[in-house]
Amino acid sequence: MVTPRESALTDRFLIPAIAEIEQALLSLRVETDQALGRDGARRYGKPYPLGYCWEISQDVAERLRKRLARPVGPGERAISAFLRNGGSGRHLWGALREKYFQNAFQFGGLYIDVANDTVDVKKPKIEILPVQESGFAEIEDVPHFARIAGSYWGMRIYANHALPSLAPAFPMIGINPEGHVRLQSGSQSMFERLCGDGFQRSEQWLAEGQAPPAALVEALRARCPSHLLAENPVTGQAAALAACQALRAEGAATGPEWRKAMLATYRAIDLIPVVERG
């Protein structure tokens, strides 16, 4: 959504300086590539910058934040003037043209992607478009995420019936083409969306999504810490649904400590490489 006020500020400060803004962001991206690209590990079997959308976006954003404290060039000054006069900027994460996940930014009425080449290295590093022409959409629900993950990552997505205590916040189990397994999704945006509706979206997916094969459940649980298995003595759809209902009744998703603990558990599991058997 772009308010009339944001649209007016965009026309006043950003549109006249689009070329200069692009050049300023490109110079920051060069610095980012020097910092991240030198030791960037291969993602999905592909070299940097492929698969580095999040890291590049965050690095450029931090560099821009520091530059805006003392803007020098015309591009930096234009962004600074836009923000000083009430314009807003925010991080975006969602589906781009229904083909792949993408991290980007919205400044007023502009969609700004500073990691435009992380899917196709032949594309320009920076893309700036009017929001309504960008083809960007926030992820609507779990099936939407699963659909993009399937087409973009080649993942098979199942309902998380293996670890019911984590199923409300991480309702999916994904398997990539190499057979590696991980809970989905670690995206902060997706996590907040699932928590924000009292796990209604999660519960619907856990009820309707494809159940994981028994061999997959066994492989995933075989690599989990003992304390997590103790919290999940029972597997299956009924237990996963009950976990959503119980948390909704308790209002646990509103607690920052609960959210912090859930994300910490997810990250601990995500560090364990699991390969599907059978």
pLDDT band of residue 278 (cuts 50, 70, 90) is very low
pLDDT at 178: 81
- Residue 265 CA to residue 260 CA, distance in Å, equals 9
Q: 3-state class of 181 per DSSP?
A: strand
pLDDT at 147: 94
Query: Would you say the pTM of this structure is higher than 0.85?
Result: no
**Average pLDDT for 264-271:** 78
pLDDT band of residue 41 (cuts 50, 70, 90) is low
pLDDT tens column, 58-100: 999 999 999 999 999 999 999 999 999 999 999 998 999 898 8
pLDDT tens column, 93-149: 899 989 888 899 999 999 999 999 998 999 999 999 999 999 999 888 899 999 999
Q: Are 214 and 206 in contact (CB under 8 A)?
A: no
Q: Which residues pair with 213 in a beta bridge?
A: none
**Bigger pLDDT: 254 vs 264:** 264
- Residue 62 CA to residue 23 CA, distance in Å, equals 17
Q: What are phi and psi of 69, to 5 degrees?
A: -65, -30
pLDDT tens column, 136-188: 998 888 999 999 999 888 899 999 999 999 999 999 999 888 888 889 887 87
CA distances for 215 relative to 34, 207, 218, 264, angstroms: 43, 20, 5, 26
